[in-house]
Amino acid sequence: MDSILRTNLLSPIALAFALGIVARLIRSEFSLPKDIYAGISIYLLWALGLQGGIELHHAGFAGIAKPAAVTLLLGCVTPLTTYVVLRRLGGFGAADAAGIAAHYGSVSAVTFIAAQTFVKGMGTEAEGYMPTLLTLLESPGIHIALAIGAIQTGGKGRPTSEVLHEVLTARTMVLLVGGLIVGYLIGDRNWQVIEPFFNTKGAMFRGSLTIFMLEMGILAGARFADLKKVGPFLLAFGIVMPILHGALGVWLGTLAGLSAAGACVLGTMAASASYIAAPPAVRVTLPEANPTLYLTSALAITFPFNILFGIAIYYKIALALAPAAAALPATVVP
């Protein structure tokens, strides 16, 4: 087997995820308690934000303009490609296509974390402002997809604007944006004290992540029974679309001057499908969209694909596209 792929498949993250799936398939009743699941995800996001903030503090915003622009571009393009592909090629109705588009137009923070961990495991490092890009990619795709859906279906659900306030002020955004600001402000002396607890390369972060991935495996495994219900088109879509979006993200990231590691992470973000922010937003604004379709494709197809294979693929694309110099990280973190 290819060595990059192998390294990824034997990582604690991928194996813990696989174990969670297996636990579910043998009908174990084991699952992480709800509050522990929430607690770990709060910790992971807060650590990510803080670390991003301190890195911004070091490297500044120099060079962030272009990557930010292509990230926003991805946020506008990916919901549209998803919608068009599903309607034209897949023959899906407007509500279902828009609902799925909201998921693929947004981003999965856990997949992002896995990509960050992966490139660090490769001995390289993405640009320090990647968490900033994550916050930029979170909501535009949801916004656009819901707007299309509301127009096409007559908008029988809750008004999009109201729901968007919830997306923008949700846990992920508060912790990431807030963490970025706090990390930026506290300075090195304060950071050093808490660094072993929050360092995203550290044992605490990586260890907690394995426990979190167990539960992600359980959640994904619980949806496997629904794979039969979504039909062959969506099965293929859940793998091919991420590859296309991932390649597009890597290419745009490389154009914008990101390192290979950074381009890989941006590609992963584009390829990933939200399963935290998007589902409730879609459920209340597009009631006719079938939740089995969007949840199964995001959680039981695209998420496992990205964790187990996708990230390694996007990294290979990034290495192939990278000019010799850009394969090194643009900013070296001290």
Partner 1 sequence: MPTTTLKLVTIIAEPVLEATITHDLERLGASGWSITEGRGKGSRGLRASDIPGSNIRIETIVSEPVAEAILRHAAEAYFPNYSVIAYLETVQVARGDKYV
Q: Which residues bind a second copy (CB under 8 A)?
A: 10-12, 15-16, 19, 22-23, 26-30, 32-36, 38-39, 42-43, 46, 165-166, 169-171, 173-175, 178, 181-182, 185-187, 190, 193-198, 201-204, 206-208, 210-211, 214
Q: Do 128 and 63 touch, CB atoms closer than 8 A?
A: no
295 part of the interface to partner 1, by CB under 8 A: yes
User: Which range of residues in 51-59, 134-142, 265-273, 292-300 is near partner 1 by CB under 8 A?
Assistant: 292-300
Binding status of residue 171 toward partner 1 by CB under 8 A: no
Alpha carbon distance 123, 130 (integer Å)? 17
Please enumerate in sequence order all residues whose Cβ is within 8 A of that of 272, keeping only pairs 6 or more positions apart, or say none: 107, 108, 111, 112, 242, 302, 303, 306
Given partner 1, a second copy, Na ion, none, residue 279, with its beta carbon under 5 to 8 Å by kind, binds partner 1
Backbone angles phi, psi at 11, to 5 degrees: -75, 150
Closest approach, Cβ 295 to partner 1, in A, equals 6
User: Residue 167 contacts by C-beta under 8 Å, 6 or more apart in sequence?
Assistant: 138, 139, 142, 173, 277, 281
Q: Smallest distance from the beta carbon of 106 to Na ion, in angstroms?
A: 6
Residue 312, both tokens:
């390694």
User: What HEC string does 85-140 produce?
Assistant: HHHHHCCCCHHHHHHHHHHHHCCCHHHHHHHHHHHHHCCCCCCCCHHHHHHHHHCH
Q: Which is nearer to a second copy, 13 or 101 (CB)?
A: 13
Print the binding letters for residues 262-301 with Na ion: x by CB under 5 A, - otherwise: ----------x-----------------------------
Using CB under 8 A as the binding rule, the residues of this chain from 264 to 283 that contact partner 1 are: 275-276, 279-280, 282-283
Interaction of residue 222 with partner 1, rule CB under 8 A: yes
Residue 186 partner contact from partner 1, a second copy, Na ion, none using kind-dependent CB cut-offs of 5 to 8 Å: a second copy
Instruction: Determine the distance from the C-alpha atom of residue 259 to the mean position of all C-alpha atoms in its chain, rounded to a whole number.
Output: 19
Q: Which residues bind Na ion (CB under 5 A)?
A: 107, 272
